[in-house]
Amino acid sequence: MRRNPYAQSVSFGPGPLTPAVQALIIANVAMFVVTAVAPRLSIYLGLTPAAVFGDLWLWQAATYAFLHLDLMHLVFNMLALWMFGVELERLWGTQRFATYYAVCGVGAALTTLVASLLPFDATSSIYLTITMGASGAIYGLLLAWAKYFPSRQVLMFFVFPVPARIFVIIMGAMALWFAATSSGSGVAHATHLGGLVAGWLYLHGRGSGGGGLVAEIKYRYLKWKMGRMRRNFEVVSGGRSRWDGKH
């Protein structure tokens, strides 16, 4: 048989797992098994604003991202992690990818905590609700993937093919709308939105040449501190202070 040189091959997904993506999938699956055996752990490891603010269970801002409500929740998140994360890790390297994933996950948690304090019907229920899942970090990966591969086709609702840049805009708009309007839906829309915002801030900080979001925060803090120091010391022309006869 002769091979047709004009035939096109169709592939699904980005290929084999990369180190960080593989480690994250293993950790998520392992935690799913552990919490299935000991479900009470979800109370201590899931993100509950009342526990963070009241009992200072600060670790929940990181551990919640490794817990999932059920098998379908886990499967869909891990599938998205593989599809969007592998190419980003190949592009960035393992260390930067892992840092970005952590920033998006924790940023999504902080957004959830802030939203739980807002005096609106759509957000007040968050305060006593346990949030679980890697969705916040996954939304951050989606944003970065759309930034580097804006013309790639993504199946919206597994039916409609749209460019990645349009897909992420639609998903962000939906997250914002549902976070502001829906109450008690069981979906952490504020967390999804927080992952997008944290990812954008991180990428924007690196793109500005400042070395990332942390460096940008340090720069802003130093600028603010220098401004306060200038206000505390009045500089007089000629190096002499004025004498007005008063003590």
Per residue, what are the HEC states of 198-221?
A: HHHHHHHHHHCCCCCHHHHHHHHH
| Sequence-ordered list of residues with C-beta below 8 angstroms from that of 112, at least 6 positions apart, any chain | 47, 49, 126, 131, 136, 188, 190, 191, 194
pLDDT of 177: 74
Give the integer Cα–Cα distance in Å for 107 and 224. 23
Residue 227 tokens, joined? 């401004």
Tell me the domain boundaries of the chain: 19-230
Give the integer Cα–Cα distance in Å for 38 and 49. 22
**CA of 247: how far to CAs of 42, 239, 242, 243, 244, in Å?**
65, 20, 12, 9, 9
Query: pLDDT by residue for the chain (247 residues), tens digit each?
Result: 444 443 333 445 677 899 999 999 999 999 999 999 999 999 999 999 999 999 999 999 999 999 999 999 999 999 999 989 999 999 999 999 999 999 999 999 999 999 889 887 767 788 999 999 999 999 999 999 999 988 887 777 667 777 878 888 887 887 777 666 665 555 578 888 899 999 999 998 765 444 555 555 666 667 777 777 776 665 544 545 444 444 4
Residue 79 tokens, joined? 């599938």
* Other Cβ atoms within 10 Å of 125 Cβ, number: 14
> Active site residue: 42, 68, 116, 192, which one?
192
With beta carbons less than 8 A apart as the criterion, state whether 191 and 135 touch.
yes
With beta carbons less than 8 A apart as the criterion, state whether 175 and 193 touch.
yes
Q: Where are the beta strands (DSSP E) in the chain?
A: 153-156, 160-163
pLDDT of 216: 56
DSSP state of 64: G
Q: What is the third-level CATH fold of 19-230?
A: Rhomboid-like fold (1.20.1540)
Residue 135 among the catalytic residues: yes
Residue 192 among the catalytic residues: yes
With beta carbons less than 8 A apart as the criterion, state whether 112 and 34 touch.
no
How distant is the alpha carbon of residue 85 from its chain centre? 13
Give the integer Cα–Cα distance in Å for 204 and 200. 6
> Active site residue: 68, 116, 135, 189, which one?
135
pLDDT of 161: 79
